[in-house]
Amino acid sequence: SQELEQSPQSLIVQEGKNLTINCTSSKTLYGLYWYKQKYGEGLIFLMMLQKGGEEKSHEKITAKLDEKKQQSSLHITASQPSHAGIYLCGAEFYGGSQGNLIFGKGTKLSVKP
Amino acid sequence: NAGVMQNPRHLVRRRGQEARLRCSPMKGHSHVYWYRQLPEEGLKFMVYLQKENIIDESGMPKERFSAEFPKEGPSILRIQQVVRGDSAAYFCASSPIPGTYEQYFGPGTRLTVT
């Protein structure tokens, strides 16, 4: 079974609209990472969350980690075509190997101009 | 500060040949991680190395795959006798120390086995 579930699998939004991507874990997270991948390219680090209830923002992207540290959301405000890509959440778990990130399958975001 | 570098970016091999993928971590990073991304699947951890040491190879297939990170030079992921199922994007990441520090990813090597 997948340890990290992302939803939705894909998302198409009109430019200017807000959107949210979710990442849910079956186990308590030690650290949660959000990455963005453009088709055919590598991953770009966005944010890392570690504390329950933590929230971080970078430009128009906000990521939150719930108090129980089992769910994270990524929120984009006033989306732009440059936000298009695949968003991946990666996690470290308690008792897991250091540095071994488990990834969700990703959410493909398309932004229509 | 240059990012993580991988070469080649694209590699085509015939079944049975060997594939060598190279990764140069970011300056100052001594921890390297290899991941594989198969079509329609997520990114899967393969191996974690420090200089001259394999720390965790729990994601590596038992046969045909090997990895090294020598004292000098890039990290190498080696696939012997490639098969069509090895076709995938292989990503390398590096970090200054392991654990909760973010991993910086390279652009990947896309391996196609014909």
State the burial class of residue B14 (Cβ atoms within 10 Å of its Cβ: 0-12, 13-18, 19+).
exposed
pLDDT of residue B101: 66
Instruction: Select from A42, A25, A22, A86 the least CA-distant residue to B40.
Output: A86
Question: CA of A41, closest CA in chain B: separation in Å?
Answer: 5
Pairing of strands B109-113, B10-13: parallel
Exposure pattern of B47-71 as b/e (b: 16+ CB <10 Å)? bbbeeeeebbbebbeeeebebbbee
- Binned at pLDDT 50, 70 and 90, residue A1 comes out as low
pLDDT at B41: 78
Backbone angles phi, psi at B83, to 5 degrees: -125, 165
| Banded model confidence at residue A94, pLDDT cuts 50, 70, 90 | confident
Q: For B42-95, how does the pLDDT look when each residue is reduced to its tens digit (9 = 90+)?
A: 889 999 999 889 999 999 999 999 999 998 999 999 999 999 999 999 999 998
Residue A5's closest chain B neighbor by CA?
B42
B69: chain A residues, CB-CB within 8 Å: none
CA–CA dist B30, A49 (Å, integer): 23
Q: Which residue of A has its CA nearest to B6?
A: A42
Tell if the CB–CB gap between A105 and B48 is shorter than 8 Å: no
Distance CA B35, CA B14 (A): 22
